[in-house]
Amino acid sequence: MSSSYMFLAVFMGFLATFGGRLLPYLIFRKKSEGKNLAFIQRNMPLVIMVVLVFYTLLSIDFSDTSKALSAIIACISTLALQICFKNALVSMFSGTCLYMVLLRVF
């Protein structure tokens, strides 16, 4: 491959990424925030957490009690941390770390 082709490919990737991020600002700069968008912004962390919980619990083998108990304890602690701190990043990171520690301990 020639270096000009590689440069062109990287530049086109840059334009696509930059354009995709810039375009919404250019299109919606004069519009006010709607009720639906405010609702989505307010509730999206909770929706993501619910999806992640179902995705995690779907792959757990509940016939193995140590893995099942680790997953349930981690999910409950993640929920408790979310209720206490209302910070999705802290609660998901802490719950994941606790799950990994519990897998090693049990």
**Digits of tens for pLDDT over the chain (106 positions)?**
688 899 999 999 999 999 999 988 888 777 777 788 788 888 887 888 788 888 878 988 889 999 999 999 999 999 899 899 988 889 989 999 999 999 999 8
Asked if residue 91 lies in contact with residue 83, where contact means CB atoms within 8 angstroms, the answer is no
User: What pTM value is reported for the model?
Assistant: 0.58
- Residues 6 or more apart in contact with residue 34 via CB below 8 angstroms: none
Distance between CA atoms of residues 92 and 87, nearest Å: 9
